[in-house]
Structure 1
Amino acid sequence: MTQITVRPTDIKLHQKSRILEVAFDDGSHFKLPCEYLRVYSPSAEVRGHAPGQEVLQIGKENVNITHIEPVGTYAICLFFDDGHSTGIYSWDWLHQLGMNQDKLWNQYLERLAKAGHQRKPAKVAE
């Protein structure tokens, strides 16, 4: 079992801006877009069951989180409005997503481009 190295001190969902804001006990603070969280879901549906089986998520520009449920004392499950709800986001995974946000986002954009997909601008929430 993986040792938890950080714990959140605050989690806020901003549905209008499609941002999950997370503060951790190490002093770090991240604003994670719902699209980013969806395309980097830790679920087998997205990550596959082994390296090299990852499934590129396309068309998630306007995805939003509908609700959040705790999973024990180590994670949360995010429920997305596209029906995806199988990813369990451990505190360490959320922290890693925050710490590596620029790098991972650019990798995602590169993978989309390589697949011939162009992101559509996200719709502005009213």
Structure 2
Amino acid sequence: MAGLTAQTPNPTSITVHEQSRVLEIGFADGASFRIPFELMRVYSPSAEVQGHGPGQEVLQTGKRDVGLADLAQVGHYALQPTFTDGHSSGLFTWEYLYFLGSQQEALWRQYEERLAAAGKSRDAEMAPPPAPGCGHSH
């Protein structure tokens, strides 16, 4: 199955906490994580966020209050959240959710370092993406 390794435990429980904006997920190995929606959104595995290769990542800002509009299970290997900012193209495999949960502290630190390097804050507005076809004449 895509995104799974033999070592990745399957989730045993998934709970969306709207008020605190966290996804609580328990795994078969006994691990349990409370992953903030903001962390999920800024580390979305989608090409829109990750780019199409190293160094192509798009720094996400203004996601502190992002919520989940919908959460769909994809097969037996992933979740596909629709965030309240409209982003819905990220597939979060069990392996990736386990990674996000288990590495939260380091990921937050890395995110804050990237923000600082860019001179941005977590609450800065995102610039709109360029419109398709901008700058090209046919």
Compute the TM-score of the two structures, normalised by the length of structure 1. Answer: 0.91
Q: Which amino acid aligns with 1:43?
A: S
Partner of 2:129 in structure 1? Answer: none
1:111 matched to 2:114? The reply is: yes
C-alpha separation between the residues in 2 aligned to 1:62 and 1:3? 30
Q: How high is the sequence identity, in percent, across the aligned residues?
A: 52
Q: In the comparison of the two structures, how many residue pairs are matched?
A: 120
**Aligned ranges 1:32-111 → 2 under 5 Å:** 32-111=35-114
Q: Which amino acid aligns with 1:69?
A: A
Mean CA deviation greater in 110-119 or 53-62 = 110-119
Q: 1:20 aligns with which of 20, 23, 42?
A: 23
Displaced runs of 4 or more, over 6 A: none
C-alpha separation between the residues in 1 aligned to 2:26 and 2:45? 20
**C-alpha displacement at 1:36, in angstroms?**
0.4
Instruction: Name stretches of at least 5 consecutive residues in structure 2 with no aligned partner.
Output: 124-138
Instruction: Name stretches of at least 5 consecutive residues in structure 1 with no aligned partner.
Output: 121-126
C-alpha separation between the residues in 2 aligned to 1:2 and 1:9? 17
Q: Pairwise CA RMSD of aligned residues?
A: 1.1
3-state SS of paired residue (2:69): strand
**C-alpha displacement at 1:56, in angstroms?**
0.5
- Name the larger-Rg structure: 2
